[in-house]
Structure 1
C-alpha cells in the first residue's frame, strides 16, 4: 500500500502540469516506519490520549488547521475512520473540497466501515470492495473501480520442463485458518496425485503450526519453508528458478498483489474466488484458475490438472492478460478519475 501511495504522489507531481501533494497522518504513537515518506511533504496529528472521543477531537482540530492553511482541491482517505474525521474537519473549517475514500482492505472485515459514506466519491481497488461500498448505500456513479498497479517486468520465471517435478509457490503470511487458510493449501496438496513440491515464502504467528500440520499430513518432505524474505521475488528468480503455479487459498482479501506480481513474471495462478480481488485478476484458462472458497475438491482437481499435464498457457499471454493493471495505465486512469470528480464539482 505504501508503494502505491508513494507512486501515485510521484506521478501527480511529475505531470506536465504537476499537482501539489502532501500526506497527513492521524497517529496514536510515533513508531511508524517513515522511510518510504522521503521526498514527500508530511504532517501528523499525534495524540496518545486513551479516550477515543478526546483523541478524535484533537485530530479533527489539527486537520481543520491544516485545511485552512493548505486549501486543498481534494483529500483522499485510505481508511474508513479518516473519512469521518476529515468530514468533521471540513464542516468546521468551511473549506470546500472533494473527499475521496480509497480503502485497501475488505470493508466487511473492518471496524467503522460505515464511516465510508462521509466521502463524496470512492476509489475501489476491486469489484468486491465496490460492491461492499454500494451495500452501504453509496450510489454506483459515486464509485470508480481503479484496481491497484503493478510494474511491467521484462524477466520471465519459466515453468519446469515436462520431465521435471511440478513446482508450486506460496508467498504470504502464515495464518493456519483465518484469512490465509494455509490449512486448505496443505489439505489440498495432501490429496494431490503425482510428484510435486511447494516453496513457502513468508512468516507469521502460525508458522510452526503450519509446519507441524504438514508433518501430520506426511507431506513435509515436499515442502521448503523459506521464512520471511525482504525480497521474495529475488529468491524465486535466483534460487527456485522454475514455478508451475502460484497458489492462494484465502477466505478474503483486499486486492491480492501477490497474484499480480506472479503474473507479471508470466506465472499462472490458482486462487480461491474469495472477496475480494481474485475475480478481477484471474481469467480462467488464460492466466490461471479460480475455485470456490473452501471447496477442496475443486482445488485438488486444479492441482492434479497442473501436475498431470503442464499448462499450455504462454508466459507472454499471461503478461498480456493484465494490461489494465500495469502502472502506466493505472496512474493515468486514477489521475483522470480524480480530476473529473474535482472539475465536475466546480461546474
Structure 2
C-alpha cells in the first residue's frame, strides 16, 4: 500500500484536498505548533487530524504541570493546616484538663508536648512538599518519566492521562513501518532500494512503459525480453547455393509458413549483389541482382526468413 504525502507552508494547506490515507507535512507557519511544523493525516473525506509530535507533547506537559503542582501544593498545605489545627485543639484540651484536674497536670503537659511535636512534624512535611513542588516547576522535565502501556491504534482524546496519550502515540509511530523513515524517490533505475521508497508518480511512468509493451506485434506483451526472444525464434537463416538463369533474378523455394525478409551474398568479392526480394507464386521467392547472372555462374546466398504461421 503506497503512502501518499503532500508538503508545503501552512498558508497553502487545504485539508479538503487530502485523500484517505494521505499525509500532509506543514513545513512552516502552522499556528497550532510552537515551531510552525506539523503533520496531518486524512482518514476520510473531510476527516483530517493533526498528529502530535514529541515537541508538541513536551509543550503540553510543560503547560499542564503547573496546574498539577499547584494542586499538590494546595493539598499538602491544607493537610499541614489541618494537622496544626488538630494539634492546637489537642493542646487546648490538655490545658483545660490541667485546670480542671490538678492531679492530671503531668498527663496534660505530656499531651501538650506530644501535640507540639505533631505540629512540628506537620510543618516539616508541608515545607518538604513545597520544596518538591518548586523543584518540579523549575526543574528539567526531561528527567521525568511516564509509565504507559501500548494501546490500540486510536485517536488522541482531550482529557486523557499522559500514560494513555503516550501509549497511543507509540502505537501510531510503530504502525508507520520502516517506509516512514525513508526518503521518497521517483527513479527506479538509479536509486538504492534500501534508502528510498517509491514515489507514487513513478506508477504513471511504469504504466506508460507497460502501454508501449502492449503495442508490440507479438504474443508476449508483458516482457520486452520475452517479446524479443519470440521474434528471434521466428527468424531462420538458410544458406542457398544458386545458379544463374541468364537474367537479373533467380527463384528460391519458399519454406512453408515463412516469408522472405532479405538475402545477402556473403562473398564480398562476388560481383553479383542482391538488390531486392519479393514473394512469388507457387511457393517461390524472387531474388533480384544488380546485373544479369549467367547460367555458368554458381555461388552461395544467405536468405533470412520470418515465420508467419
TM-score (norm 1): 0.17
Higher strand share: 2
The structure that has the greater radius of gyration is 2
Structure with the larger RCO, 1 or 2 (CA within 8 Å, 6+ apart): 1
